[in-house]
Structure formats: structure tokens, C-alpha cells
Structure 1
């Protein structure tokens, strides 16, 4: 969290000391596909089952929404965001489908470059703060303390392409985690799902995200300079428009 605050403070100081071409504040929203690990059902945990069985996750559409602040320096731009993401996957266990759900707050700090109008490329880190992650059927027993037990704060790397049409735009982004998760033993309710003791394999989280955005407010430094200088004019009511 301290690293995020330091980055944002440094960013704002850079804005103050550099003549930017334009500033924009906007909102965004869209969909995502989140990739997680396979689950290996242990054969010796179920009677009459002699071989392990591997279950692959099915990606489900998740959603995201949030806001951003963009500062442009010629063809370059800086774009910190704050985004809420909700993601869902599922596993087709023998007796019933089990759903995996997770949500988080992400604070990306992106640096981009306009290749040509209207296409831009960008990249940068994202700082994640996870809420609870759940998988249907997982129970707390002497074998397992529940789960999935994932880190509450992580860092990922983002790279994407953005197409802008006036105040509106479309953003396609790939996100890759910087740290692999640890393999974890899960105890699943066999009577409901047909799986008992199972290993959630280690994996590196990644996500494909598509969103649309709109600049709610957009200006340039000349407008800002004029506005703030008028705030300090010497007049009786101290109004910027006297």
C-alpha cells in the first residue's frame, strides 16, 4: 500500500512541475476472462478409485468498473486507475459443477504512447487488493483449513492497446501475475461433488480484459493555469470570476 501511495504522490508532483498538454478524468467498465489452476482429485481419497483425475477450469465472463485520471505529454501519457473486478470460473466435478468466485480492487499505474491517431499502446504495474476467494464445496477438516488461501495483496504486469474516438474509447488489456501461487490441498464434500481430497495446482494468474471508457472531464494546462490564477486575484469577495 505504501508503494502505491508513493507512486501516486510522485506522479502528482510530476504533474505540478511539468507542462502537460491535457488532463482527463473518466469512467470505464467492461468484461474479463480470468485463468486459474487445475484441480487434481487424489485417487486414494475415494473408495474404488485407483487413479488421480484432473479437472480443468472453465472460464466464465467476469465484470469490471472504475475510474481513471490521464495526463498527456505530447504523444506520451500517464494513466493511474482504480478498478473493481469480479471474476468467475467453474470446475465440472463428477456429480455437480463447482463455481470459483473472487473479487479485488486494482490500482494500475500505466504509461502509454500514441502510435497514430486513434491507436495507443501502454504498459505498467497493477497493485491488487483481494477480497475473499471461494470455491463451492470446500470444507474445513483435519486435512485442510478451507481455501483457496491466496495472497491478499499482489502485483501484476499490464500491457494493452487503446483506441480513442473523441471522448470515448475501447481498451483491450492482458494482465500477467508476477508471482506463482503455491499448491494447496482442498477437502471437498464428496457426497455433493464426487471429489474428496484434491490438490489445487500452482499457477500464475492471468486475465484478458475488454472495457469501454469515457472522459467525463477533459481540459488543458492553459485552462487550469487561468482558473487557479484567478482564484488568488485581489478582490473583496475573492471570487474567481470578478
Structure 2
């Protein structure tokens, strides 16, 4: 964790230094949707009936969401973009008796470094520091075999890669996020009468998320405001219009 905090401090320091030379900086809000990748569950058939074969259940993707804000410092085609986002992730497993929903929520702090490759398109990459507050799988019990779960690390890091297109104060952002390390395989004890699965192994996996977000610049240092968007074209506050 000390290494994470050190990297975060260095990024913030570098970002603050860049502002001295920056042509423009921005505060904005964003929101969007996501899909999440988690691991297979191997149902131990012998825990249900003698001689019953194991059965593997792969997760199905549900649509989650994210909301947050960002600070953008721009300098001659380059930008640094720290964000603070609240993220909700969802999946489910189609067990024999009923579906079991997997949910997780987290606060994340991505620090992104980008380059404009052709107006109005930019590409970017950077680390994200994730702080999970709630991870649940429906039907999991605390028994002598398992202490509940899923017991995933609460503080993790990941890498982000994405492409962003901007028009006036608005932007659309497609992002791929991958964890920096895999989870540990874990034994779960699931309510058999409700879900048709008993003892089961949540297999190791590397978390991955694909998200699509929409953003709007609320404050800019170029002197324009949101109200300028409703003026005539010659007086429009359009920082990306050429």
C-alpha cells in the first residue's frame, strides 16, 4: 500500500507542476455504463450427492454503471486527467434452481495520461487505485467450510486504456480496465435448497471492466461557460471548435 500512496502522490505532484505551463484546465462530471468479467464457479458435485459430477458455471454479464468527476490539465495535445468515480458492477450465475447475482461497488481514482492523435480523438492510459466497499454473491453462507465471501481484496490497482472523442464541452469515452494481479481461488458454501449448488470453488481470475462514459466540462480556464453553448455560433464557447 505504501507504494500505491507514493505513486499517487507523485502523480498529483506532477499534475500540479504541469498546471504552471498548461494552456487550459477543466473540471467536469461524467457518467456511464459498464460490463465486468469475473471467474467461473466449479460446483463440487460430491457435496450434493455421492458420485455426482462437478459442474462449472460461467458468469453472465449484467450492465453496471459509474458516476464521477474529473480534473483535466492540457498542454499542446497532451493531457493529465485524475478522476474520482463511484462504480457499481454486476454479474450473475445461472445456477440450477435460480440465478445468483454478484455485485460489487467501489470508489476509484484513475490517473490518466493522454495524447490527442487527431482532432477530436485522443488515446490515454494510466493506473487506477480501487477501494471496494461491498462485494456480494447471493446465496453464500458462513459455515464450517467457508467464512462467506467472495473475499476479494478491498484495495487494488488496475490499468486503464481508452479512447476519447470530444466536441465542444462534451466527450464520449470508451475504456478497458484490467487488474494488475489475479484473485485467489476460494471455497464458497452456497445454499443448496435455494440455488441447487452447495460447496463450490470460485476460480482465480483477473478482473476486467469495459465501460462507456459521457462527460461534460463544467468549468474551464479559457473564459467560456456552460451558458456560452446557447449563444450564436460566432460567440459560442466551444473550446474544441476550429
Query: What TM-score results when the alignment is normalised by the length of structure 2?
Result: 0.88
| Aligned length, in residue pairs | 220
> Contact between 2:15 and 2:80, CA under 8 Å: does it hold in 1?
no
Distance 1:162 1:9, change over 3 A: closer
Distance 1:9 1:104, change over 3 A: same
Rg larger in structure: 1
> Contact between 1:26 and 1:68, CA under 8 Å: does it hold in 2?
yes
> Contact between 1:106 and 1:128, CA under 8 Å: does it hold in 2?
yes
The 2-side partners of 1:21 and 1:76 are apart by 10
The 1-side partners of 2:101 and 2:141 are apart by 14
Please say if 1:145 is aligned against 2:154: no
The 2-side partners of 1:106 and 1:91 are apart by 26
Secondary structure of the residue that 1:191 maps to in structure 2? helix
Secondary structure of the residue that 2:134 maps to in structure 1? coil
> Contact between 1:113 and 1:122, CA under 8 Å: does it hold in 2?
yes
Moved over 4 A (4+): none
CA RMSD of aligned residues (A): 1.3
> Contact between 2:41 and 2:57, CA under 8 Å: does it hold in 1?
yes
Post-superposition offset of 1:13: 3.3
Equivalent of residue 182 in structure 1, options 159, 172, 184: 184
Partner of 1:94: 96
Post-superposition offset of 1:132: 1.7
The 1-side partners of 2:35 and 2:207 are apart by 11
Post-superposition offset of 1:47: 1.3
Gaps of 5+ in 1: 224-242
The 2-side partners of 1:164 and 1:185 are apart by 46
The 2-side partners of 1:131 and 1:145 are apart by 18
The 1-side partners of 2:105 and 2:194 are apart by 25
Cα deviation, 1:110-154, whole Å, max 9, x if unaligned, reads 000000111000000000000120000000000000000000100
Partner of 2:197: 195
Q: How does 1:150-169 map to 2 (within 5 A)?
A: 150-169=152-171
